[in-house]
Structures are given as structure tokens and as C-alpha cells.
Amino acid sequence: MSRRPVLARLRFWAALAALPTYLACGGGSASQTGGFPPVPVETVTLEPSPIERVTEYIAKLKSRRSMTLQPMVEGTVTRIAVRSGDRVRAGDLVLEIDNNRQRAAVASLESLRAVREADLAYARREAERQRSLFQAGASSEQESEQAQTSLDTAEAQLRAVEEQIREQSVELEYYRVTAPTAGVIGDVPVRVGDRVTDSTMLTTIDTGGGLELYMHVPVRSAGQLAQGLPVRVVDDAGAILAETAIDFISPQVDESTQTVLAKAPLRDTAGFRTEQQVRARIVWSDEPGLRVPVVAVSRIGGQFFTFVVVDEEGRSVARQRGVHLGPIVGNDYVLLEGLAPGDRLIVAGIQKVRDGAPVDPR
């Protein structure tokens, strides 16, 4: 075998091993630039900005001018005159309840009134006759007084029957449920043939106007509730649809859910409907703080780190800093500790730098 290929291979490996020493002693292009060239990076300067602390809840919209119709009597529904979504005027018929028994009661009282009227007529004639006989000396004063007492009793009995008739006639009208005001009919859960009582909900009438947000806040957060706290209604993408503020806080806790009811008026109701569920965010505070872009953070072993640009011996170098971060707001972390206002944070080119590496901030 020829020795020349072997010698050539040995010379190549010897030259390759001597390359780092050659570069360190000033040979080659790297020495001419004073070491490895700086890595171009993009930076932002940290400055305090308002940071909102918010919590999102699923709220329900309710009409501020909606009323519930309930019957004032008990009975069976015989007719429903409206449908959900119908617009009614005050006094329009909504539904009817079977009133046969009540009409029979009124008819019986009217028959009794006829009897009382006949009794009154007889008592009046008898009183006049006894008065005439007493004046002529043909009867005693006692007989005249007894006749007058019978007349007074007959008149009182007739008045009592007439009052009963008026009372029963008024109650007869309760079997016709009418709209107390103009508005739009809501859901009608009852059907013809259903038996209802004075606690049965027949339907609702929405008179229009403003809506109201109903938010149920857990007890652990209820202590922070205050009138005037800003509330934002947002869509699925987080865009703000409406803004308002809390104007009512319930003094009681809901036993079943352990929540406290908070309300906020919604003045701009365009695009919203009664009983609609929406995403509502309560803004608890708005205090200045620092934000760290998500792209500037790396995680190593459960700890968060960032790189900042510092000036050392007349050149810019990257230094790694451990940080303690809070929740994400938009595309930024809320900084709790680890950095200070004025720090130049590297936000692009992080994958190319290491602690102490020279950088070219842009």
C-alpha cells in the first residue's frame, strides 16, 4: 500500500486540530472582528402601563321592563288568545279560565236579590200602614216601631246582597286575563285544558326599554364587589360589545349556588335579547405595571427566563434573567418581579443568543 494517502490524511487531521489555536492567536477572519460577530436581535424597552385585573362570568340579560302574568283565580284554561311574540295593547285578552262556577254563584246572588227586593217592598208597605194606624190611634207605637225595624232590616239585607253581587262580578272578570300594559308576549307555557292557580306563570309581557346584566359572583370574590365597577360584554373573540358598570349588589347569598347577584344596566341594547347569555368581564382594578411579551419568555425546568441587553465594556451583550410572571393579558404576561422599567428586553432572535453573548440590538 502507498504511504502517500496515509500521510495526506494525517496532515489534514493535524491542520484541523490546530485551527482553534490559530483563530485564538489572531489568525483568520474572526480575529479581525474581535471575536464572533454580534447577533442581531430585536428589543423593546419596558415601561409601566395600565394593567387590568378582570374576571369573566357567564351573565344573563333580563328586561328591566318585563312583567309576569299570573291568574288571580284557580281553574281550567279554556282559551288562549295570544301566541309568543304577539304585540298586545293594554286591555287585550290574553287567555280565559273556565268561569261556569263563578257565573252560577253570581246568578244565585241575583236571584237572592230579587227575594230581598220583594221583602223590602213588603216591609216598606207594612211600615207605612203601621205609621198611618199609629197616627190614627188604631195601633200602638210599639207596632209602628217593629214595622220600621223590619224595613231597616230588609234594606240592610238587600244592600248586603248587592255588595256580594258586585264582589262576585268583579271576581268573574278575573277569569278573563288581560294585558295590563302594551308590550310583546313572551313564552306561553300553559295549554288549553291545563289547571292553573294563582301561583302559575301564564306568560310574560316585555314592554321594551333597557336590558340588565345578571351576574352571579362566587362568595370568595363577592367581597371585592362595589357599585361602579366597570363591566364589559365581549364576544367569543374577546372584542368589546358593550360597556357598563355595576349598580346593584344583592345583600344575600344564594344558598344553592353560593353566589352573590350583581346587576348592571345595558343601555345600548342593539343586538341583544331578553334571556340571552353573554360573556361579561368585571374589571376589578386598573393599576400601572410591566408587561412581558409571550414571545420573549422561555421556560427551563419550570422556571421562566428572559434575555435583556446590557452594556458591558462598551459593547452590548445578552444577559439571562429569571422572572416571576402573572396571568396572560392579551399577548403579554403580567410581570410580578425580575425586571425593572427601562430594561431592554429581547423579543426576537432569542434562539440565537446565550448568556453573555454579544448582540446587535435593533
SS3 content of the chain, % helix, strand, coil (to 5): 30, 40, 30
Instruction: Indicate whether 155 belongs to any domain.
Output: yes
* Span of 29-38, 56-65, 281-290, 314-323 with lowest mean pLDDT: 29-38
- CA distances 304 to 45, 196, 292, 325, 328, Å, are 19, 65, 11, 8, 14
Residue 195 shares a structural domain with residue 247: no
CATH number for the domain that contains residue 57: 2.40.30.170
Domain count, the chain: 4
Domain, as residue range, for 116: 100-173
Residue 75 shares a structural domain with residue 201: yes
pLDDT at 22 over 50: no
Instruction: Indicate whether 164 belongs to any domain.
Output: yes
Q: Using the 3D structure, point to which of 164, 188, 205 is the last residue of a domain.
A: 205
**Is 0.85 surpassed by the pTM of this model?**
no
pLDDT at 26 over 80: no
Instruction: Indicate whether 334 belongs to any domain.
Output: yes
CA dihedral 148, 150, 152, 157 (to 10 degrees): -170
pLDDT digits (tens, 9 = 90+) for 32-57: 334 668 889 899 999 998 887 888 99
Instruction: Indicate whether 273 belongs to any domain.
Output: yes
CATH number for the domain that contains residue 305: 2.40.420.20
Residue 318 shares a structural domain with residue 269: no
